[in-house]
Chains A and B, each alone.
Chain A
Amino acid sequence: MIGKYLPLLASSLRRKRLRTFFTAASILIAFLLYGLAASMQFALKSGVDVAGADRLLTMHKVSFTQLLPASYESRIKAVDGVVAVSAQTWFGAWYRDERNQFPTFPSDPEAYLRIYPEIKLAEEQKQAWFADRAGALVGRAIADLYGWKVGDQVPLRSAIWRRLDGSDTWDVTVRAIYDLPEGGDTRQIVLHQDYFEEAKQQAKGLIGWYVIKIDDVNRAQAISRQIDLMFANSPAETKTSSERAMAQSFVNQIGNIGAILSAIVAAVFFTMLLVTANTMAQSVRERTNELAVLKTLGFSNGGVLGMVLAESVLVTTLGGLLGMLLAWWAGVQFAPTLDQYLPGFRVPPAAFAKSVLYMLALGVVAGAVPAWQAMRLRIVEALRRD
């Protein structure tokens, strides 16, 4: 039924091709920005979603970069409600090119897997990793990115840690490759804590932080408080919170950037609203006579209103869909590069659905005034004006 009006709508858009092109292109840019901002927020939030609520993180009270004594581990283990403890340190690993950095942590293998039961890996690979002190547990994403297979020898470089011989190259063997449930970030490598502790040149007896698994999520706060009290007034005081809270606070910090981005996108949308409204108003002004002719032929006021609105929605939808497609393409295209910093960077389905609503709303609001004017047009006056 509406299909028969499409040639009429399309021809209206073809009337001033350049103007239609620039308007649609501006809307495309607005929705591209929206798509990229939504992708970024999705990437930031996905880290929070996979963070466990039953895991605590104990780090130096002053800063994440300050180290803690390795001796704290046995004392933390003794706290009631603690099931497992995994000491970890930021290794600062890179491969081939310093820009190819990825999260790498030396840790006790068995403790690490107790802490992260969601990690999926073959039993024989797990045993092989346990048995080889220079063995590494590699996430699927990293293995796929560099084409590593089980048994491969990999020279990892560290931006922070040097070996006893002064070298920053740590030869490790890929002993196991792990997967995670859907949405998990497998862009990590886990090394043996013993191997790291023996071979590193500096900071002997110190580790980065502790990841602690507890038996009751509801006691997370009490256990955190107890741990921090235990090390209060010591040279290395601690700050403990749940892994999810930590991830959330990290996201909240970056979230400010997200909020700024959202504000920019909102401003762009508002500008687009004015641009599109202006374009539509101009287009209706230029066609006063034609609209009067349509009314003369019997097109109703509602029909003319609908036609101008449909035209406006067509422009915003056309530009918007192309913008979202471009954002999606950017996500696919740049995912391997961005994965290092923003794993999961892609336009989420919810953002696609929202964007369609925004396109429709933008079209309707931008076209409302010109459509109203077209509807109210008095045939005789409009024809006389010609």
Chain B
Amino acid sequence: MNAAPAVAAAGTSIVRIRDLVKDYRRGAETVRVLDGLSLDIRQGDFVALMGPSGSGKSTLLNLIGGLDRPTSGTLEVEGLRVDELSAGSLGRWRADHVGFIFQMYNLLPVLTAERNVELPLLLTNLDREQRMRRVAAALKLVGLEHRARHRPRELSGGQEQRVGIARAIVTDPTLLLCDEPTGDLDRKSGDEILDLLQALNREYGKTIIMVTHDPHAAERAHRVIHLDKGMLSEGSG
């Protein structure tokens, strides 16, 4: 196993990864996607993860978000060993600490925008009134309070992604994980989404890790980290 030097950043680390390995089985073959990767991401950072297809960007994002488990190595988020959490604890941890933003928005088509945004809050003890207050605040923040009762098919791609962002921030998580958030949008809508992410980072102190293929999108990040064949190298954002 290759142990690469940690790609570190100054300040308090919110994400601390050491010697992370992820293997997948493809039939009889074992494919190593991440190969002894080490990385620190500090609180309030905006990191762009770039790299060619199959380089392991999304895999790394999934591991940081607790959607998947590493084959070996350690992964700490806010001082908590995420790789050691049980499936049930991982779910609760994700609900409380991580907001996910997907390329294809992944909204439930049968629910209105506000019901989609409300979904993560169903897992909390908030009553309906409190939930709806938070939903309204999140929708207002993304500039979609007037589209609250619309279903996803009645919204543009950019608006759908805004609803996705509202859903990701409605529980006020510290970490936002974005998987190609502008990948399905035109340049103008993409820029609006990136503006929004920048604002969330700058004004609300959200730590953002964004997977992207687009150098234009990566320019908005403080740091750009390149992944190739499961190994890291850092560039400037």
- Chain A residues close to B by CB (< 8 Å): 4-5, 7-8, 11-12, 14-15, 289-290, 293-303, 379-380, 383, 386
Contact = CB atoms under 8 A, between A and B. Distances in A.
Given A15-B110, A379-B67, A386-B104, A297 B128 contact: no
Nearest to A10: B110
Interface string B190-201: 000000000000
Contacts of A290: 106, 108
A289 B152 CA distance: 15
A11 B106 contact: no
Contact of B110 (A11, A293, A303): A11
A180 B109 CA distance: 61
Contact of B91 (A15, A300, A386): A300
21 contacts: A4-B128, A4-B131, A5-B122, A7-B115, A12-B110, A290-B106, A293-B102, A296-B94, A297-B95, A297-B119, A297-B120, A297-B167, A298-B95, A298-B123, A299-B91, A303-B123, A379-B67, A380-B62, A380-B67, A383-B67, A383-B102
B61 to A, nearest CB: 10
Contacts of B94: 296-298
Nearest to A386: B104
Contacts of B119: 8, 294, 297
Contacts of B120: 297-298
Contacts of B123: 297-299, 303
B88 A297 contact: no
B115 A11 contact: yes
Given A14-B110, A379-B68, A8 B122 contact: yes
A219 B26 CA distance: 83
Nearest to A296: B100
A302 B120 CA distance: 16
B91 A295 contact: yes
B186 to A, nearest CB: 21
B155 interface: no
Nearest to B89: A300
A293 B106 contact: yes
A299 B120 CA distance: 8
A302 B115 CA distance: 21
Interface in B107-124: 108-111, 115, 119-120, 122-123
B92 interface: yes
A383 B128 CA distance: 29
A15 B153 CA distance: 13
B31 interface: no
B166 to A, nearest CB: 13
A11 B67 CA distance: 26
Contacts of A386: 104, 106
A308 to B, nearest CB: 14
B62 to A, nearest CB: 5
A15 B108 CA distance: 10
Interface string B17-50: 0000000000000000000000000000000000
A11 B104 contact: no
Q: Which of B95, B96, B106 has the most CB of A within 10 A?
A: B106
B87 interface: yes
A99 B111 CA distance: 57
A314 to B, nearest CB: 14
Contacts of A294: 119
Contacts of B122: 4-5, 8
